[in-house]
Amino acid sequence: MVAIRATLKRDLVLLLRRRSEVLNPLVFFALVITLFPIGISPDPALLATIAPGLLWVAALLAALLSLDGLFRSDYEDGSLEQLLLSPQPLPALALAKVAVHWLLTGLPLALMAPVLGIMLSLPAGSYLVLALSLALGSASLSLIGAIGAALTVGLSRGGVLLSLLVLPLYIPVLIFGAGAVQAAIQGAGVSAHLAILGALLAVALIFAPWAIAASLRISING
Amino acid sequence: MSLRLQARKLACERDDRWLFHDLDLELCAGQIVRVEGPNGSGKTTLLKILSGQLADYRGELFWKGAPMHRVRRDFLANLLYLGHASGVKAALTPLENLAWYQALAGAPGDEDDRLAALEAVGLAGFEDLPAGQLSAGQQRRVALARLELMPRPLWVLDEPFTAIDREGVAALEARLEAHTRCGGCVLVTTHHALRASAGLRSVCLGEGGAGVER
């Protein structure tokens, strides 16, 4: 428990001292969403129909962008080696690192999305669902993505491979996440979509830490 | 059960070349084993195998007489490994770095202990600077402060003398000897000739052959 708390604190401090790494995905998200009305059409009706998918895809790519660095700096300066050699359960420590990643990437993205939704004239009433679905979904994205990040940490240019590895696994989250917002716009019930997002997160929470730990072991042994 | 790390008929192959084979090694309390050999002779690989990081080898490892895979938790709780990369985060201060290592060992630790450890490695006054602003030797010393801080009997040190100045080398050598006198054991790779002492032995890795013990 002490080790988990210390790892949480250490990673938070580290990321807050390198703010550009935290800001990059958010800026990317904002830029993509700003460019779409300019590139397609400022017609509010058209934008409103594509807004849920657009916001979700952009947030997903922004989260993906930040994943490569999740274990890389630890790998390069030898801390990862030490993490693996500690007598603590590695899945728990990995989960702490992923939690920090979500807190500083997924959660800010979810909070930012409604503001960008205004720009896409997203119908009122779907903002809360948008933020909620992104908060839930991005936690799954962080967990799943961390498996890929752990597998590719030993490769010097693992970025592309990482995307190829995790994108197929992101698709269910994207479908139900964007679906939730779509349902909210149409006035249909959103609870089914959110429940499935929650279920995906529960499954990811149970299995991903072990998969991340195993992947880290493979990467370090390689 | 007393400390004992044993390797039996250890062999490792890399890129169709035997780094070492039929290597028997025993490390008991009170001993320093120095692994020597030219660059690329497999010193780091041997240390990684012996510290349980690499699984890609042949032969058997025993810790306190039991097969390694069964007592891995206990082994890790007794091991302090310093690798090539120092494991010091550049964006954190030496104090924060040490605090994390203490917590990783399972205890929240004490700030006074950390300050004392930093002072012991000659870093008094640098404890609140980001480690990235320190020199290479000073960063190495931050890593070495873990030796002072964490009471673990088995030390596995990969080139600990890198970037350390002459006084630092002498102090570290004395520290290693003091550790063995207190019942600890040390496995170290270095190109630096260690002062002869009672518990010192050398294992020489050479051209694709077995390790020769001297």
Of B85, B103, B130, the CB nearest to A6: B103
Dihedral angle sign, alpha carbons of residues B191, B196, B200, B203: positive
Interface of B with A in 157-186 (CB under 8 A): none
User: What tokens appear for B135 in the block?
Assistant: 């020199």
| Rounded-to-integer distance, Cα B158 and Cα B81, Å | 8
Phi, psi of A137 (to 5 degrees): -65, -40
* A87: chain B residues, CB-CB within 8 Å: 73, 76-77, 105-106
Q: What is the pLDDT of residue A171?
A: 95
Query: Cβ contact (<8 Å) for B56 and A79?
Result: no
| CATH code for position B19 | 3.40.50.300
Contacts of A127 (CB under 8 A, 6+ apart): A114, A117
* A10: chain B residues, CB-CB within 8 Å: 89, 92, 96, 100
Closest CA to B14 of B50, B54, B53, B51: B54
Exposure string for A192-215, b = 16+ CB within 10 A, e = fewer: ebbebbbebbeebeeebbebbbbb
Intra-chain end-to-end CA distance of chain B, in Å: 27
| Rounded-to-integer distance, Cα A98 and Cα A208, Å | 10
* A13: chain B residues, CB-CB within 8 Å: 91-92, 96
A17, A22, A81, best to mutate vs chain B, most B CBs in 10 Å: A81
Please say if the pLDDT value at position B210 is more than 60. no
Q: What is the mean pLDDT of chain B?
A: 86
Please say if the pLDDT value at position B197 is more than 80. no
Query: Cβ contact (<8 Å) for B76 and A83?
Result: no
* Higher-pLDDT residue of A82, B214: A82
The CA distance from B70 to the nearest CA of chain A, in Å, is: 14
Of A6, A78, A87, the CB nearest to B100: A6
Please say if the pLDDT value at position A79 is more than 80. yes
Please say if the pLDDT value at position A133 is more than 90. yes
Q: In which band, very low, low, confident or very high, does the pLDDT at B109 lie, cut at 50, 70 and 90?
A: confident
A181-209 pLDDT per residue, tens: 999 998 888 899 999 999 999 999 999 99
Please say if the pLDDT value at position B212 is more than 60. no
Place of tokens 């028997």: B24
The CA distance from B202 to the nearest CA of chain A, in Å, is: 25
Query: Cβ contact (<8 Å) for A85 and B79?
Result: yes
Interface of B with A in 25-44 (CB under 8 A): none
Of A73, A76, A87, the CB nearest to B76: A87
Interior angle at CA A75, CA A71 and CA A79, nearest 5 = 100
Interface of B with A in 107-166 (CB under 8 A): 107-108, 130
- Cβ of residue A88 closer than 8 Å to a chain B Cβ: yes
Q: What is the pLDDT of residue B211?
A: 57
As a three-state string, the secondary structure of B3-61 is CEEEEEEEEEEECCEEEEEEEEEEEECCCEEEEECCCCCCHHHHHHHHCCCCCCCEEEE
* Higher-pLDDT residue of A193, B108: A193
Intra-chain end-to-end CA distance of chain A, in Å: 29
* B130: chain A residues, CB-CB within 8 Å: 17
Q: In which band, very low, low, confident or very high, does the pLDDT at B1 lie, cut at 50, 70 and 90?
A: low
B131-146 pLDDT per residue, tens: 989 998 899 999 999 9
- Cβ of residue B15 closer than 8 Å to a chain A Cβ: no
Of A77, A84, A86, the CB nearest to B53: A84
* Higher-pLDDT residue of A157, A131: A131
Q: In which band, very low, low, confident or very high, does the pLDDT at B209 lie, cut at 50, 70 and 90?
A: low
Contacts of A62 (CB under 8 A, 6+ apart): A25, A26, A28, A29, A32, A105, A109
| Rounded-to-integer distance, Cα B92 and Cα B86, Å | 13
Query: Cβ contact (<8 Å) for A82 and B53?
Result: no
Q: Which domain holds residue B138?
A: 4-213
Q: What is the pLDDT of residue B213?
A: 58
- Torsion angle, alpha carbons of B51, B57, B59, B63, to 10: 20
Mean pLDDT of the region B84-90: 88
Query: Cβ contact (<8 Å) for B103 and A7?
Result: yes
A1, A2, A4, best to mutate vs chain B, most B CBs in 10 Å: A2
Dihedral angle sign, alpha carbons of residues B37, B39, B45, B51: positive
- Cβ of residue A78 closer than 8 Å to a chain B Cβ: yes
| Rounded-to-integer distance, Cα B60 and Cα B193, Å | 29
* Higher-pLDDT residue of B13, A59: A59
Please say if the pLDDT value at position A130 is more than 80. yes
Q: What is the pLDDT of residue A95?
A: 96
Of B87, B91, B104, the CB nearest to A17: B91
A22-49 pLDDT per residue, tens: 999 999 999 999 999 999 888 988 998 8
Contacts of A14 (CB under 8 A, 6+ apart): A73, B89, B91, B92
B165-196 pLDDT per residue, tens: 888 888 898 888 899 888 889 999 988 877 77
Please say if the pLDDT value at position B127 is more than 70. yes
3-state secondary structure of B120: helix
Considering just the CA atoms, what is the radius of gyration of chain B in Å?
17
The total domain count for chain B is 1
The CA distance from B60 to the nearest CA of chain A, in Å, is: 17
Please say if the pLDDT value at position B76 is more than 70. yes
Please say if the pLDDT value at position A221 is more than 80. no
Of B53, B91, B92, the CB nearest to A220: B53
Contact B73, B124 (CB under 8 A): no
* B76: chain A residues, CB-CB within 8 Å: 85-87
CB atoms within 10 A of CB B98: 27
